[in-house]
Amino acid sequence: MSFSSSRDSMSTGADVERRASLSGGSMIRRRSSIESTRLQRRRTIEEAFTEVAAENVAHALPEGFNAKFADFRETTFLVKTKKYHTIIWNIIHGAIWGVLVRRGLTALTSYNGSYLSGVVWANFTACVVMGIAVDGEELWSILVDDHADIYPHKGAIPLYTGITTGFCGTVSSFSSVILEAFNKAADTEIGIHYNYPNGAYGIMQFLAVILAQFGLSIMGFHIGKQTSAVIDNYVRPITKRQYKIIEYISVTTGVCLVIITCVLIGVKHDGAWRSWTFSMFFAPFGAVLRFYLSKYLNSKVENFPMGTFTANVGGSLLLGIFTLIGRGKFGDNGRLNNSIIGCHVLNGLDDGFCGGLTTVSTFVVELFGLKTVFGYQYGVSSIMLSFIMVILVLGSYNWTVGLTDPYCS
pLDDT, one tens digit per residue, over 313-366 is: 999 999 999 999 999 888 777 788 888 888 899 999 999 999 999 999 999 999
* Confidence at residue 68, expressed as pLDDT on a 0 to 100 scale: 66
Q: Which pLDDT band, with edges at 50, 70 and 90, does 69 fall under?
A: low
* Confidence at residue 255, expressed as pLDDT on a 0 to 100 scale: 97
pLDDT in tens, 366-377: 998 888 889 999
Are 390 and 316 within 8 A, CB to CB? yes
Quick one: average pLDDT of 251-273?
88
- Higher pLDDT: 41 or 94? It is 94
Task: Evaluate if residue 391 carries a pLDDT over 80.
Answer: yes
Residue 363's nearest CA partner among 308, 293, 319 is 308
Task: Evaluate if residue 27 carries a pLDDT over 60.
Answer: no
* Confidence at residue 29, expressed as pLDDT on a 0 to 100 scale: 60
* Confidence at residue 79, expressed as pLDDT on a 0 to 100 scale: 46
* Confidence at residue 151, expressed as pLDDT on a 0 to 100 scale: 86
Q: How many angstroms separate the first and last alpha carbons of the chain?
A: 105
* Confidence at residue 20, expressed as pLDDT on a 0 to 100 scale: 53
Residue 190, classed as helix, strand or coil, is coil
Residue 177's nearest CA partner among 390, 349, 325 is 390
* Confidence at residue 31, expressed as pLDDT on a 0 to 100 scale: 59
Instruction: Work out the mean pLDDT of the chain and round it to a whole number.
Output: 86
Are 161 and 346 within 8 A, CB to CB? no
Residue 11 DSSP label? H
Please count the CA atoms within 13 angstroms of the CA of 203 that sit on its side-chain side. Answer: 3
Q: How many CB atoms lie within 10 A of CB 355?
A: 33
Quick one: average pLDDT of 235-251?
94
* Confidence at residue 82, expressed as pLDDT on a 0 to 100 scale: 53
pLDDT in tens, 85-144: 899 999 999 999 999 999 999 999 988 888 888 899 999 999 999 999 999 888 998 988
Q: pTM of the full predicted structure?
A: 0.86
Quick one: average pLDDT of 280-302?
94
Least confident of 27-41, 172-186, 228-242: 27-41
